[in-house]
Chains A and B, each alone.
Chain A
Amino acid sequence: MGLLSVEGVIAGYSAADEILKGVSLAVEAGEIVAILGPNGAGKSTLLKSIAGLIRPKRGKVSFAGERIDGLAPRQVSARGLAFVPQEQNIFPRLSVLENLEMGGYVDPAGAQRRIPALLQRFPMLAEKRRQAARTLSGGQRQVLAMAMALMVEPKLLLLDEPSAGLSPIAAERLFATVSGINADGIAIIMVEQNALEALSIAKRSYILVDGRNSRSGISAELAADPEVRRVFLGG
């Protein structure tokens, strides 16, 4: 039994709307899985359905052997599954330190223990801990968002386009951070537009097209596939 299993999920933002038309995927403990595909394929919708922000109309989402579809986001989070949205993923008017505290809101005693470790791991956050989070750059905000997610010691991290809007250097640093988090044994599902980078750090990948599974497999094999290269990697 894998860590996460998604089976035939149909979901959308309204009753008449079906963005996901029967998507399935599986994630094993400790691996990085990339979700790729063109705009509108349903990648972010899939993450939101797993995180409890969208209730699937049909299908099943199970985490560590327990059904989680239909649970509220905070109930999903409490089970060790942390979601980092693409945008608005920090509390801009709270300080960096307060953002970390809120990241660990469900476990206040544990949060006080984890904050020093996270500040040591991300020295930039330690340096700016008293500043309002809105003063951070785009890359720094993504690091803060991931650090907030780590405050609950998740088993699985869901990252929605973490490199969107970042400079190439900032994106490179961010992917290094993602690999570092995974090295601690935390499984990661990453939705990315930067397909080459995502394929290079993910063990396995899924390609979605129009709300359905299109291709899936070992990332290195997908990256070498001529059709995948032509359609999704620009040659």
Chain B
Amino acid sequence: MQEIAQLLINGIVSGTILAVPAIGFTAIYAVLRFPNFAVASHATVGAFAGYVANASLGLPAPVAVLAGFAVAGVVGVASDQLALRPLRPSGALASAIASVALMIALENVLRFVFGNDLRGFDLPIMRDWRFGGLRVGPQQLQNLGMAVAAMTALFLFLAFARTGKAMRAVADNPALADIKGIDPERMARLASFIGMGLAGAGGVLLGLDTSIDPLTGFRAILAIFAAAVVGGLGSIPGAVVGALTVGIAEELSLVAFQPAYRTAVGFVAILIVLTVRPRGLLGERAY
């Protein structure tokens, strides 16, 4: 019982961190209507930007997360304009395939610059907190807090800022949004910046939890995609619910399976959702 409680705690922490890039993925899908798999490499770009801020410049972890957000957001807009935008008239499939190519290209740029070694953030060593036989790391809690802060900031932006509402309007009905004077290209750039920025922030949070290398984002992409599909592609609250579901399910799978099979949880989650409820837990339409 205690083991399951510990796995649940770990699952909630990892699910909350996973929610950050999953929201980025689903936000881009909601506005641009294609699955942008380059979220993976942007998570890695963010992770390395955060690493430079933290390990090289000596800045604290929250600033590293902000640096990861900003750098991945800017790279996201630039790469979208250069590589993906010209393909938009060819449809979602062409853009999705191009995003896989973009992911591989960016990963190899990082490999060329930083090499293949594992790198760890410069964090103070702290003892885990124990209560009732359960353990929680202070860094885990700080990561949880930063993930919740990032999500809260996004929710506030989408709910109250005029531009945030316009972004939701484009996601809801792009043709009408254009008639009402909302520039679809501006919203596309904003969605790329916020979506890839969140992927970058998520990459830093993943790195703070373990370590980073050029495949950090690639290893997480299945769980990110699964979280977005389980929650309902295009639904931001859905991405949070999906990420928590996948995060907790991954941890609980350790009760019955070897850790090597943990990544299969994402596949199983996608399979179940597409079979039973194709629109996802909180999605409003099937894709």
| Contact among A51, A85, A91 with B169 in the assembled complex (CB-CB below 8 Å) | A91
Chain B residues with CB under 8 Å of A102's CB are 165-166, 169, 177, 180, 182
Contact A88 B183 (CB under 8 A): no
Chain B residues with CB under 8 Å of A148's CB are 180
Contact A77 B173 (CB under 8 A): no
- Cα A89 to Cα B172 in complex, Å, equals 11
Give chain B nearest CB distance to A36 CB in angstroms: 24
Chain A residues with CB under 8 Å of B175's CB are 53, 85, 88
Interface string of A35-79 (1 = CB under 8 A from B): 000000000000000010100000000000000000011100110
Give chain A nearest CB distance to B175 CB in angstroms: 7
- Cα A101 to Cα B176 in complex, Å, equals 13
Contact B165 A85 (CB under 8 A): no
Chain A residues with CB under 8 Å of B183's CB are 74
Q: Which residue of A lies closest to B165 (CB)?
A: A98
**Category for how many chain B residues contact A:** 10 to 19
Contact B176 A91 (CB under 8 A): yes
Knowing A101-B165, A102-B165 are in contact, say whether A91-B179 is a contact too (CB < 8 A).
no
B162 sits at the interface (CB 8 A): yes
- Cα A6 to Cα B169 in complex, Å, equals 31
B128 sits at the interface (CB 8 A): no
- Cα A73 to Cα B162 in complex, Å, equals 20
Contact B179 A74 (CB under 8 A): yes
Q: Which of B162, B165, B166 has the most CB of A within 10 A?
A: B165
Contact A106 B176 (CB under 8 A): no
Give chain A nearest CB distance to B143 CB in angstroms: 31
B178 sits at the interface (CB 8 A): yes
| Contact among B168, B172, B181 with A106 in the assembled complex (CB-CB below 8 Å) | B181
Contact B169 A73 (CB under 8 A): no
A116 sits at the interface (CB 8 A): no
Contact B165 A94 (CB under 8 A): yes
Interface string of B246-280 (1 = CB under 8 A from A): 00000000000000000000000000000000000
- Cα A81 to Cα B22 in complex, Å, equals 40
Contact A105 B180 (CB under 8 A): yes
- Cα A46 to Cα B115 in complex, Å, equals 60
Contact B173 A105 (CB under 8 A): no
Chain A residues with CB under 8 Å of B122's CB are none
- Cα A183 to Cα B74 in complex, Å, equals 51
Q: Which residue of A lies closest to B183 (CB)?
A: A74
- Cα A152 to Cα B162 in complex, Å, equals 16
Chain A residues with CB under 8 Å of B162's CB are 101, 105, 108
B3 sits at the interface (CB 8 A): no
Contact B172 A91 (CB under 8 A): yes
Interface string of A138-152 (1 = CB under 8 A from B): 000000000010001
9 smallest beta-carbon distances between A and B, as pairs:
A106-B181, A74-B181, A91-B172, A73-B179, A102-B169, A105-B181, A91-B169, A93-B172, A73-B178
Can you pick out 28 interface pairs between chain A and chain B where the beta carbons lie within 8 Å of each other? A72-B178, A73-B178, A73-B179, A74-B181, A77-B179, A78-B181, A85-B176, A88-B173, A88-B176, A90-B173, A90-B176, A91-B169, A91-B173, A93-B168, A94-B165, A94-B168, A94-B169, A98-B168, A101-B165, A102-B165, A102-B180, A102-B182, A103-B180, A105-B169, A105-B181, A108-B162, A148-B180, A152-B181
